DNA sequence: ATAGGGTTAG
């Protein structure tokens, strides 16, 4: 005789736990089976006290499976009228599972049913508005939700305030975010983090740093959220010294153990050119998540450590992490930097097996990969096959390929389509012009430059900078602004003689005829990166790599010259241009002259 | 206990 089954009410907890497991796995058939069982036997009312608990997990389950209709039906199965808690449950299920439109719809229905908004439902609604910030038809203006919230008894609640503040920040409305922050009667670490994150996303790095500093001064107990945000700012702006200071501080508070802080540190050191240090952070990380795997994978990709990148991809899967769309973006970048077309195609089709829909960014990476090995027709065919309107980045990648392979006809097509996207990129005009020039079509080149002027687009100034002792030294071509300019030009001249002795010949083919006067000046030899390296030779201690950043792509001649420079001086130069890293040592570059 | 806010990786 089997022991008698316990009464169903006693099983409610186990059933709830089972639903949580099924939710996590998004196991749709099994979950629906369980739902059916509960409904069919009339079991739900039988366990009325656990009814709401089970319903909550059912809602989360269907939201995870992106099935708002089923979610709503499970909600409507609740004994009427649903209490405010059930509504909050419904709204948060949608908001937390990428269904902002459904979340807002539920919020609206709740209000229509006469249930007032609470301190539980407003934050979820704010999250939904924030998540829909990029969509063309936002469900509700941020101001409207803020207004609604301020008419409730929760207007001064710190949870509600922080959620509304974050909504403003995510919608790019930094002025309102800041005003709310200033007016809040109570602030906590979440309010501070939301504001810092908002400034960081908007590229307002000084503001983000300033708020962070104020938080420290006001003795706010910053946590891993806050620190990861501020390290991201340092990474984006390549503020190595400041980033290292924040890192040191985070070690003291043990926040460096957070995988979120770890990811941003990996990215910081990688972006500052110190990929070995990035690798060490990763190896030492006590806890790994998908973010830190992607961060280290991207570091390998950016630094041209292609084989390492592929290995990391295998390892992360062995560790049980499921790659996401960013993982594949990193892999395609790695392939692109090594010119590995077959591997790239393999990863691109592998996305399907993971049911990850390629985004425009993945297409841009594939176009870049095909283009830089000269398969321009194939790249154009891929663009034609895109299920979405090709954005600027895709045409830009094609245009770059046309420039490399002097394909003026395709360049004209790419540029035309690129400008149709509403882009005001000066780089695109310059690429088109120089492609014409490289193909010997100097009249078209001049016309392209005129078109740029007529469009009121100014050429982006080539800038290089070098950070040393916490100070950032910025250079433009041939400038003499730096107080140590005389020494810089002297040392470059001296090294230049050695370089010529070693066989360096300045390549003047990059000097395009029929270009405007200002560009001719720039082509004469002292490109900004060389000046920055010159200063590096003077002030960076022997044995320490000279790290230089540049906002444009390094030219062939400078690339060649820096190889000779590294050989003649015995120095390591790490140059980050707008595409990737180049590590020059003993006459060779890590990119293998393919970039 | 079934409901609430902020991260990382491109």
What range does the domain containing A582 cover?
Answer: 464-589
Biggest CA-to-CA distance, chain A:
98
The reported pLDDT for the residue numbered A471 is 85
CA–C1' A3–B1 (A): 30
Q: Which of A595, A593, A551, A556 is nearest to A576 (CA)?
A: A551
Angstrom distance, A143 CA to B1 C1' = 34
User: Chain B: nucleotides under 7 Å from a protein CB?
Assistant: 1-10
φ, ψ (nearest 5 deg) of residue A250: -70, -25
CA of A378 to C1' of B6 (A): 44
pLDDT single digits (tens) A454-513: 888 888 888 999 988 878 899 998 889 999 999 999 999 999 999 999 999 887 655 544
The spacing between the Cα labelled CA in A53 and the C1' in B1, in angstroms, equals 8
Q: Which nt has its C1' nearest the CA of A191?
A: B6
| pLDDT given for residue A515 in this prediction | 47
Domain membership flag for residue A516: yes
Sign of CA dihedral A573, A577, A581, A582: negative
pLDDT of residue A522: 43
Give the closest nucleotide to A54 (alpha carbon vs C1'): B2
| Structural domain includes residue A585 | yes
At residue A530, the 3 state secondary structure works out as helix
Pick from A183, A138, A146, A140: which is nearest to A166 by CA?
A146
Torsion of CA A336, A340, A341, A346, to 10 degrees: -100
Query: Given this model, what pLDDT does residue A49 score?
Result: 61
For the CA of A354 and the C1' of B4, the distance in angstroms is 33
Residue with minimal CA–C1' distance to B2 is A53
Q: Is residue A79 assigned to a domain? A: no
Predicted local distance difference test score (pLDDT) of residue A514? 43
Domain assignment present for residue A280? The answer is no
Question: Long-range CB contacts (< 8 A, 24+ apart) of A321-326?
Answer: A321/A288, A321/A289, A321/A290, A321/A293, A322/A290, A322/A354, A323/A290, A323/A354, A323/A356, A324/A290, A324/A294, A324/A356, A325/A351, A325/A356, A325/A358, A325/A359, A325/A361, A325/A362, A326/A294, A326/A298
Q: How far is the CA of A121 from the C1' of B5 (A)?
A: 11
Residue A573 in any domain: the answer is: yes
Give the closest residue to B5 (Cα–C1′). A163
Nearest nucleotide to A295, CA against C1' atoms: B9
Pick out the nucleotide with least CA–C1' distance to A170.
B6
Q: Which residues of chain A have pLDDT under 70?
A: 1-10, 41-49, 136-138, 508-525
- Find the Å distance, CA of residue A288 to C1' of nucleotide B8: 11
Q: How many independent structural domains does chain A possess?
A: 1
Asked if the structure places residue A35 within a domain, the reply is no
Q: For residue A223, which nucleotide's C1' is closest to its Cα?
A: B7
Residue A548 lies in a domain: yes
Name the protein residue, with chain letter, whose CA is nearest the C1' of B4: A120
Whole-number pLDDT of residue A8: 60
Can you give the pLDDT at residue A523? 47
Measured from Cα to the C1' atom, the residue closest to B1 is A53
The string of pLDDT tens digits covering residues A145-157 is 999 999 999 999 9
Residues 6+ apart with CB under 8 A from A363: A382, A383, A386, A390, A394
**Closest residue (Cα, C1') to B10:** A326
| A212 within a domain of the structure (yes/no) | no
Contacts for A577-581 with beta carbons within 8 Å, 24 or more apart?
Answer: A577/A550, A577/A552, A577/A553, A578/A550, A578/A551, A578/A552, A578/A553, A579/A553, A580/A302, A580/A303, A580/A304, A580/A337, A581/A273, A581/A275, A581/A302, A581/A303, A581/A304
Polymer length of chain A: 595
Pairing of strands A573-576, A546-550: parallel
A410-454 pLDDT tens trace: 999 999 999 998 888 888 999 999 999 989 999 999 999 999 998
A479 CA to B6 C1' distance (Å): 44
């Amino acid at each position: 005789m089997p022991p008698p089954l316990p009464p169903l009410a006693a099983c409610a907890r186990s059933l709830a736990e089972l639903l949580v497991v099924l939710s996590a796995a998004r196991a749709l058939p099994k979950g629906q089976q369980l739902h059916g069982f509960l409904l069919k036997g009339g079991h739900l009312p039988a366990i009325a006290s656990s009814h709401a608990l089970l319903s909550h997990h059912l809602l989360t389950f269907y939201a995870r499976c992106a099935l708002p209709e089923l979610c709503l039906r499970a909600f409507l199965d609740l004994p009427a009228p649903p209490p405010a808690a059930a509504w909050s449950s419904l709204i948060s299920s949608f908001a937390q599972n990428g269904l902002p439109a459904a979340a807002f719809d539920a919020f609206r229905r709740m209000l229509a049913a006469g249930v007032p908004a609470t301190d539980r439902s407003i934050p979820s609604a704010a999250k939904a508005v924030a998540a829909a910030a990029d969509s063309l038809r936002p469900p509700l203006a941020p101001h409207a939700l803020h207004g609604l919230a301020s008419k409730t008894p929760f207007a001064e609640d710190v949870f509600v305030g922080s959620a509304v503040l974050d909504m403003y920040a995510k919608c790019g409305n930094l002025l309102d975010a800041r005003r709310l922050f200033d007016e809040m009667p109570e602030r906590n670490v979440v309010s501070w983090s939301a504001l810092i994150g908002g400034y960081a996303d908007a590229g307002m790095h000084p503001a983000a740093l300033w708020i962070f500093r104020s938080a420290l001064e006001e003795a706010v107990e910053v946590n891993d959220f806050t620190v990861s945000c501020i390290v991201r700012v340092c990474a984006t702006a390549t503020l190595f010294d400041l980033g290292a200071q924040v890192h040191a501080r985070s070690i003291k508070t043990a926040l460096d153990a957070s995988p979120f802080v770890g990811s941003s540190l990996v990215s910081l050191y990688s972006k500052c050119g110190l990929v070995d240090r990035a690798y060490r952070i990763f190896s030492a990380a006590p806890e790994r998540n998908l973010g830190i795997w992607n961060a280290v994978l991207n570091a390998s990709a950016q630094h041209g450590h292609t084989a390492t990148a592929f290995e990391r991809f295998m390892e992360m899967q062995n560790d049980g992490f499921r790659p996401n769309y960013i993982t594949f973006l990193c892999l395609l970048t790695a392939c692109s930097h090594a010119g590995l077309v077959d591997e790239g195609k393999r990863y691109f089709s592998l996305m399907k097996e993971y049911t990850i829909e390629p985004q425009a960014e993945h297409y841009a990476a594939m176009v870049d990969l095909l283009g830089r090995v000269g398969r321009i027709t194939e790249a154009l065919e891929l663009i034609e096959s895109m299920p979405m309107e090709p954005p600027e980045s895709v045409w830009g990648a094609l245009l770059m390929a046309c420039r490399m392979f002097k394909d003026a006809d395709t360049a004209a097509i790419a540029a035309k389509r690129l400008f149709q996207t509403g882009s005001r990129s000066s780089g695109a005009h310059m690429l088109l012009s120089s492609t014409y020039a490289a193909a010997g079509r100097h009249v078209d080149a001049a016309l392209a430059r005129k078109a740029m002027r007529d469009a009121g687009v100014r050429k982006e100034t080539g800038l290089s900078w070098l950070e040393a002792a916490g100070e950032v030294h910025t250079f433009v071509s041939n400038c003499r602004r730096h107080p140590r300019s005389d020494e810089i030009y002297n040392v470059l001249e001296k090294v230049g003689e050695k370089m010529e002795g070693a066989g360096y010949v300045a390549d003047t083919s990059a000097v395009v005829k029929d270009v405007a006067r200002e560009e001719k000046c720039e082509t004469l030899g002292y490109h900004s990166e060389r000046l920055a390296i010159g200063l590096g030779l003077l002030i960076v201690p022997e044995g320490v790599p000279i790290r230089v950043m540049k906002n444009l792509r390094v030219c062939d001649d400078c690339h060649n010259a820096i190889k000779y420079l590294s050989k003649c001086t015995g120095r390591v130069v790490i140059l980050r241009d707008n595409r990737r890293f180049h590590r020059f040592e003993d006459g060779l570059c890590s990119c293998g002259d393919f970039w």
